[in-house]
Structure 1
Amino acid sequence: MPAHDLQSFVAELERRGWLKRISAPVDPRLEICEITDRVTKSGGPALLFENVAGSRFPLLINAFGTRERMCLALGAASFEEIAERVRHVLRPEVPTTLVQKLKKLPELAQLASLAPRIVKGGVSQEVVHTGDADLFSLPVMKCWPLDGHPELCGGSPAQAASAGVSSVNAGSATSAASPAPSADVGRYITLGAVFTKNPDTGERNIGMYRVQLFEPKLAAMHWHPHHDGARHFRRYQQRGRRMPVAIALGGPAVLPYAATCPLPPGVDECLLAGFLQGRGIDLVPCVSQPEIEAPASAEIVIEGYIDPGEDLVLEGPFGDHTGFYSLPDFFPRLHVTALTHRREPIYPSTIVGRPPQEDYWFGKATERIFLPVLQAIVPDLIDYNLPMFGCFHNCVFVRIKKEYPYQARRVMNAIWGAGQMAFSKIIVLVDEHVDVQNEQEVLFQLCSNVDPRRDILFSDGPLDILDHAAP
């Protein structure tokens, strides 16, 4: 079973020899990233930095940086084991006899127990800061040299503001935020599970969005138009109401993965976390924003609100997973109203950068676990692979059993219509005898058997907003 909180997960990593404690003093601005980037790319262990400059909290990073550690977090021997559980849910056997129906009762009871449970309190609220809440008390990292420096990306914040309002979230106006102290420019929360709710339906969403720090109680929330958090923001904007937000750091080991999953709008990621964990996630109402709940076992919870009537704030640039900086743009201001945590919390973080990084294993887990879901949408599909060099959305290898002319084109268009697979830039389809997990074999078939005039299809559609090559 997956660890119920981050402390238990860290203990298990250490027991298995998969974690290295570092007691030497380190700086969260660039230095931790430089160390971790080398360790991650060499397949090294999780790192627990115990002496981080400017904070009394230790920092955990690279906790999910290998297949084995990702599987441990999900409580499974392999991603395929979870995929089989998903397949069983999607294609249940219908009981026909009384005995078979009775045997189904425990399964139904277990499914009913996977919903999140609201509890009165938890370790996440052992220490509460409201008036003295300070984001800079956390060991929040700056990963890359130009992070948070718009003046180094072709212009000053004022010049960027004069260029107009971004289409990401249209507010009443735009402006640059009050600058962080020079030493703290470009610090980002990168592994926070952001909890929001639809004000019309009360439906919960958990997303993993980067958050840039500006002041002790002010940050920028970076989300894209298609993200559920952004949809909720637009609902609050229409209502003219403040939007409560909670950012959970730590908690159940399955939570970071659940927050990244491409679930349909309206589906609570807490249900997926409960499914992976085998029992419901305990949530506790926030201290200063009681409309919204956060994990009772979280290490740290940042509570706050976004006022849709306020000016947007210039956020970025940010070194991204493509190996390029995503450019500055305007996003909502997050005002912090409380900071709660365990008595001795661990701050979890990750690097966003050119793969391999930890997020590669989040993506690989999704590829394997969601194979049955994609097959339910596109029955022709036998297997698929999101190769590392494609950074999740740039390239997809797809294996099908070809039975009729133009079937490959139909499958490609079906994939482009399947949720976040719509952002796939390049889709390569091969016959059933080609192993799409063997990238060299796919490239051999591509170079040997493709007639470019006949076999390449161009289709206009959306691309990921972080794709620097997109028009």
Structure 2
Amino acid sequence: MPLSGIKYFIEELRARGDILSISTPLDPKYEISAFLSEIGKKDAPAILFEKVKGHRLPVVGNLLGTRRRLSLALGIDPDKLFEEFPKRMGKGIAPVLTRDASPKVVAKKGKGVDLTKLLPVLTHYAGDSGPYITSGFSSARDPETGGIGRGLHRMEMRGKNRLGISLLNPPLAEIYGKYKRMRRRMEIATVIGMDPLIFLASILKAPAGVDKLSIAGGIRGKAVPMAKAENIDLEIPAFAEIVIEGFIDPKGKEEDGVLGESSGYYMGFSKSPTIQVIAITFRKKPLYHAIVPWSLEVDNLLYLVHGLDFVPKMKREIPSIREVRLIPGTFGSHAVISLDTENRGEIRRALSLALSFTNIKKVIAVNTDINIQDDQELEWALATRFQADKDLMVMTNLRGQPIDPSSGDGFLTAKMGLDATKPRLKGFEKVGVPEGVKKRITPVLQKFVKGR
């Protein structure tokens, strides 16, 4: 699939029957978020909300809510994701400036901008301090090197033409720090509704000085097309649905904000700067891309980020590992490993290695006769092969994830490994029918399931 805009991806999903259009009007305050939260608990399609109360723009959500769609956006077979992805990441292709000649409408400039009317920004949860943009990809120029830093940062609606932005991570946090020390205002452009691959590249960790759009180009094998921002000196991804341009005055007031986060709890953003919006640009018939913070869609994104390091290293260090799974709903902190070994020492080493990763808090080891994608089989393995006094490993005072609210000072946490492999071979043979029988009944099963 060529690098282009979000609409091309949506058309691809439509051709595959993997997007559902909703014509019932829903409110961007709570209702759309609630709908996406409920439907996102299942293997659901992407959702296009055609009518949004109080707004002209439709909203698309749950776009990357399944690993099937995640792999489609990356252009990589799901079974080869953690083998192929790191290879492509290392083959960066620099973005290229192109003429984005598609029709645009500059809605407003200066004080005439009213984001509250122009954008159907969602209020996700009852305790949120206001509506939050959760899919904005922001760019700013380093005042020292001239390079452009980019990243995905939460943005709070603070008025008609004001947006709070949480700058906690590099490179934008470092770039803003430089402007602050220089007492200079920082120009910033935010795009919403872009090629999903660019969105995925925005959440990856990039080496200092490396443009995340080069990583996106390497993954797709084609340079990301860029366009000049309309009113400030920045190059941004072409074909974006919405472009917000503005600046941050380092002398301006920094405010607090609260948002329900991917951990399932509210998180405060203390003293985050405010963007003064000077212009907003739309493509013809624009779409607003929404992401619900506490959802399986965000879990998929964390699965990608954490899995890129975790899965290849586990398989490299422990040759008997056949499969690794990060359990949905745990923001990448719970894992299962399937091992083809009877060596207790190697199983313990695998558990210890897994728990050494910052993001992992709990890991279960099972034999290859367990389908680790099936939660019922995992619970069965724990119920019949695990004894807590012998098979439970507890490690204390290890660094955990910052978003875990139960962790202590310095994000130190206790972790556990559970050995649910067979205690012995005899007496632990799993019941089953001959493999040939399974193959013969599969077509019948598929017809039955499809017809229900």
Please, what TM-score do these two structures have when normalized by structure 1? Answer: 0.74
Output the amino acid matched with 1:246.
A
Partner of 2:95: 116
Q: Please state if 1:297 is matched with 2:232.
A: no
Superposed displacement of residue 126, structure 1: 4.8
Q: Provide closer, same or farther for how the CA distance between residues 301 and 397 of structure 1 changes in structure 2, counting only shifts above 3 A.
A: same
Q: Helix, strand or coil: the match of 2:25? A: coil
Report what 2:72 is aligned to: 72
Q: Distance in 2 between matches of 1:385 and 1:198?
A: 39
In the alignment, which residue of structure 1 is the partner of 2:180? Answer: 237
Note closer, same or farther for the CA distance 1:28–1:208 as it changes in structure 2 (3 Å cut).
same
CA contact (8 A) 1:79 1:369 kept: no
Q: Which residue of 1 aligns with 2:363?
A: 428
Number of the residue aligned with 1:329: 270
Greater relative CO, 1 or 2 (CA 8 Å, sep 6+): 1
Please tell me whether residue 144 in structure 1 is matched to residue 144 in structure 2: no
- For 1:279 and 1:434, locate their aligned partners in 2 and report how far apart those are by CA, in whole Å: 41
What's the counterpart of residue 81 of structure 1? 80
Between the aligned partners of 1:434 and 1:268, the Cα distance in structure 2 is 43
- Does residue 190 (structure 1) correspond to residue 134 (structure 2)? The answer is yes
1:268: which partner in 2?
A: 211
Secondary structure in 2 matching 1:143: coil
Question: Which residue does the alignment assign to 1:56?
Answer: 56
**Contact 1:143–1:351 (8 Å) recurs in 2:** yes
What is the DSSP-based 3-state SS (H/G/I as helix, E as strand, rest coil) of the residue aligned with 2:40? helix
Inter-CA distance 409–70: structure 2 relative to 1 (3 Å threshold): closer
SS in 1 for 2:276: strand
Whether the 8 Å CA contact 1:116–1:281 is kept in 2: the answer is yes
Show the counterpart of 1:288: 231
Aligned-pair identity in percent equals 25
Give TM-score, length-normalised by structure 2. Answer: 0.76
Residues 328 and 258 of structure 1: is their aligned pair in 2 closer, same or farther, counting only changes over 3 Å?
closer
Residue of structure 2 in register with 1:201 after alignment: 145
User: Matches of residues 30-429 of structure 1 in structure 2 within 5 Å?
Assistant: 30-76=30-76, 78-86=77-85, 88=87, 114-123=93-102, 125-127=104-106, 129-131=108-110, 132-136=112-116, 137-148=118-129, 186-224=130-168, 226-290=169-233, 292-316=234-258, 318-327=259-268, 329-353=270-294, 355=295, 357-367=296-306, 374=313, 379-380=317-318, 382=321, 384-392=324-332, 394-397=333-336, 407=349, 411=353, 415-416=356-357, 422=358, 424=359, 426-428=361-363
Amino acid at match of 1:302: I
Check conservation: 2:82, 2:312, Cα contact below 8 A.
no
Task: State how far apart, in whole Å, the 1-side matches of 2:209 and 2:334 are.
Answer: 28
* Partners of 1:229 and 1:358 in 2: CA distance: 24
CA–CA separation in structure 2 for the residues paired with 1:448 and 1:236: 56
Rounded to whole Å, the distance in 2 between the matches of 1:205 and 1:287 is: 18
Greater C-alpha Rg: 2
CA distance in 1, matches of 2:346, 2:37: 47
8 Å contact from structure 1 (residues 79, 365) kept in 2: no
Provide the C-alpha distance between the structure 2 equivalents of 1:25 and 1:345, rounded to a whole number of angstroms: 17
The one-letter code of the counterpart of 1:345 is: P
Of 381-390 and 294-303, deviating more is: 381-390
Structure 2 gaps, min length 5: 409-452
Distance change (3 Å), C-alpha of 1:404 and 1:60: closer
Answer whether contact 2:97 2:226 (CA < 8 A) is retained. yes
Q: Distance in 2 between matches of 1:88 and 1:315?
A: 39
Distance in 1, Cα, partners of 2:351 & 2:127: 41
Q: Provide Cα deviations, 1:398-444, integer angstroms capped at 9, x if missing partner.
A: 6788878995587358x54xxxxx3x251537488697656654972
1-structure distance, mates of 2:312, 2:103: 34
Question: CA RMSD, aligned part only?
Answer: 3.4
Unaligned stretches of 5+ residues in structure 1: 92-110, 149-185, 417-421
Letter in 1 for 2:363: V
